[in-house]
Amino acid sequence: MQIETITTHPYNDQNPGTSGLRKKVKVFQQPGYLENFVQAIFDSLDGLAGKTLVLGGDGRYFNRPAIQVIIKMAAANGFGELIIGQGGLLSTPAASHIIRKYNAFGGLILSASHNPGGPDEDFGIKYNVSNGGPAPEKDTNAFYQRSLVIDSYKIASIEDIDLDCIGTQRIDNFSITIIDPVADYAELMQSIFDFNLLKQSISSGYITLLFDAMHAITGPYAKRIFIDILGATPDSVINAEPLEDFGGHHPDPNLAHAQELAERMFGSAPPVFGAASDGDGDRNMITGSNIFVTPSDSLAIMAANAHLIPAYAKGLRGVARSMPTSQAVDRVAAHYNIPCYETPTGWKFFGNLLDAGKITLCGEESFGTGSDHVREKDGLWAVLFWLNLIAIKRQSVADIVNEHWQKFGRDIYCRHDYEAVEIDIANDIVDHLRNQLPTLPGQTFAEYTVKYADEFSYEDSIDGSISSNQGIRIGFENGSRIIFRLSGTGTVGATLRIYLERFEADASKHNQSAQVVLATLINLAEQFCEIKKRTGRTEPNVVT
Q: Which helix (H) or strand (E) holds 391?
A: helix 379-393
User: Choosing among Co ion, ligand VG1, none, which partner's interface includes residue 366 (Cβ < 5 to 8 Å by kind)?
Assistant: ligand VG1
174-179/81-89 β-pairing: parallel
d(CA 379, CA 382): 5
Residue 295's binding partner out of ligand VG1, Co ion, none, with CB under 5 to 8 Å set by partner kind: none
Phi, psi dihedrals of residue 514, rounded to the nearest 5°: -60, -40
Q: Which does 121 bind (CB under 5 to 8 A by kind): Co ion, ligand VG1, none?
A: none
Q: Which residues pair with 411 in a beta bridge?
A: 503
Alpha carbon of residue 39 to chain centroid: 25
Contacts of 283 (CB under 8 A, 6+ apart): 113, 114, 252, 253, 277, 366, 367, 368, 377, 379
Q: Which is nearer to ligand VG1, 144 or 153 (CB)?
A: 144
Nearer to ligand VG1, 43 or 137 (CB): 137
User: Rounded to the nearest whole angstrom, what is the least distance from the CB of residue 204 to ligand VG1 in the complex?
Assistant: 34
Between CA 496 and CA 500, with CA 498 as vertex, the angle to 5 degrees is 175
Q: How many residues lie near Co ion (CB under 5 A)?
A: 5
What is the maximal distance between C-alpha atoms in the chain? 72
Q: Closest distance between ligand VG1 and the C-beta of residue 172, in Å? A: 35
For residue 123, how far is the Cα from the chain centroid? 16
Q: Which is nearer to Co ion, 81 or 280 (CB)?
A: 280
- The span from the CA of 333 to the CA of 145, in Å, is 40
Name the minimum Å distance from CB 111 to ligand VG1: 7
The distance of closest approach from Cβ of residue 324 to Co ion in the complex, given in angstroms and rounded to an integer, is 17
Does 113 interact with Co ion (rule: CB under 5 A)?
Answer: yes
270 or 324: CB nearest Co ion: 324
| CA atoms lying within 13 Å on the CB side of residue 178 | 15
- Determine the interface stretch with Co ion among 110-118, 132-140, 444-452, 535-543 (rule: CB under 5 A): 110-118
CB of 34 closer than 8 Å to CB of 69: yes
Residue 157: C-alpha distances to residues 33, 93, 160 (Å):
19, 32, 9
Secondary structure (3-state) at 24 = strand
Residue 351 binds which entry of ligand VG1, Co ion, none, CB below 5-8 Å type-dependent: none
Q: What residues from 247 to 286 belong to the interface with Co ion (CB under 5 A)?
A: 278, 280, 282-283
Contact assessment for residue 465 and residue 352, using Cβ atoms and an 8 Å cutoff: no
Give the list of residues 6+ apart from residue 390 with CB closer than 8 angstroms, or none.
Answer: 201, 207, 272, 273, 396, 397, 400
Q: 398 with 290: CB under 8 angstroms?
A: yes
CB of 525 to ligand VG1, least distance (A): 16
**Residue nearest to ligand VG1 according to CB distances in the complex:** 113
**184 versus 282: smaller Cβ distance to ligand VG1:** 282
- Of 113-121, 188-196, 216-224, 305-313: span binding Co ion (CB under 5 A): 113-121
- For residues 26 to 65, the per-residue mask of contacts with Co ion, x marking binding by CB under 5 A and - elsewhere, is ----------------------------------------
Q: How far is the CB of 25 from ligand VG1 (least distance, A)?
A: 16
Does 345 help bind Co ion (rule: CB under 5 A)?
no
What is the rounded CA–CA span in Å between residue 214 and residue 259? 10
Nearest to 63 by CA among 186, 212, 181: 181
Nearer to ligand VG1, 480 or 489 (CB): 489
| Contact footprint for ligand VG1 (CB under 6 A) | 18-19, 113-114, 278, 282-283, 322, 345-347, 364, 366, 368, 487-489, 497
| Residue 378 lies near Co ion (rule: CB under 5 A) | no
Residue 346 contact partner, candidates Co ion, ligand VG1, none, CB within 5 to 8 A by sort of partner: ligand VG1
Give how far the C-alpha of residue 389 lies from the chain's centroid of Cα atoms, to the nearest Å. Answer: 22
Catalytic residues: 113
Q: Identify which of residues 95 and 161 has a Cβ nearer to Co ion in the complex.
A: 95
132 interacts with, out of ligand VG1, Co ion, none, CB within 5 to 8 A per kind? none
User: How far apart (Å, rounded) are the C-alpha atoms in residues 105 and 14?
Assistant: 23
Three-state SS for 466?
A: strand
Q: Which CB atom, from 179 or from 285, has the smaller least distance to Co ion?
A: 285
Instruction: Provide, rounded to whole angstroms, the least separation between the CB of residue 253 and ligand VG1.
Output: 9
From the list Co ion, ligand VG1, none, partner contacted by residue 371 (C-beta under 5 to 8 A by kind): none
- Closest distance between ligand VG1 and the C-beta of residue 64, in Å? 21
Query: Which positions touch Co ion (CB under 5 A)?
Result: 113, 278, 280, 282-283
